[in-house]
Every structure is written in C-alpha cells, then in structure tokens.
Amino acid sequence: NAGVTQTPKFRVLKTGQSMTLLCAQDMNHEYMYWYRQDPGMGLRLIHYSVGEGTTAKGEVPDGYNVSRLKKQNFLLGLESAAPSQTSVYFCASSYLIDLRDGYTFGSGTRLTVV
C-alpha cells in the first residue's frame, strides 16, 4: 500500500545510547518532516526536508540530526539519547509546499529513554 512507513514502531533506549528512526515514502513526495508529539503540547516540528539532499531545522531540533540521501527516505538520528527525548515521533510527507492537500503521516514511533 502507498504511504509513509516508519520503523521501528516501538523502542526503549538507555540514556546515552544512539539510534536512527527510518521514514520511507513511496508517493514521490518532495517534502518530508519529522515531528514529535508530547502530552499537552501537540506536534512540534523537529527537522524537515524540501528535497533529496536538503535538510533544515524546525522548532525543536536540538539533540537530533537528519539525512535525506534518497528522495524516498528521511532518517532521524539521536546521537546520545536523553530522557527528555521520550516521545512519539511522526514522520510525514507532502507533495505541495503549501500543503493544501495535507500531510500523509506515518503511524508513529514510540520511543522511551530510561
């Protein structure tokens, strides 16, 4: 099925460990985004990409890095996980920059840092 696929769906990390979240889309979308969702705070943008080889910072980029080596993939890395990064992470993609058609979201990754 066409859409946005996130892996893994769940992960528990120890403080200081590193990991990479993978987002893959098969809709040929140019724009991809990583958000985090925390209780009472809605969704906040971490990083985004407007095309292959490009990345940019969103509202809450500290502690995260991203890469977009291939158009269909957008990776989110945590180099040294901290308990404050416990969250649900969503990847999304879109075709049009003005987002009139809305995002296509992945199903999320629940990350717990202990």
- Using CB under 8 A, which of the segments 11-19, 21-29, 48-56, 73-81 binds other proteins? 48-56
The correct pick among 5, 20, 71, 88 for binding other proteins (CB under 8 A) is: 88
| Tokens (6 digits) for 43 | 């969704």
User: In angstroms, what is the C-alpha Rg of the chain?
Assistant: 13
**Among 60, 107, 64, which Cα is nearest to 88's?**
107
- The residues of the shown chain that bind other proteins, judged by CB under 8 A, are 31, 33, 40-45, 48, 50, 56, 58, 88, 90, 92, 97-100, 102-103, 105, 107-108, 110
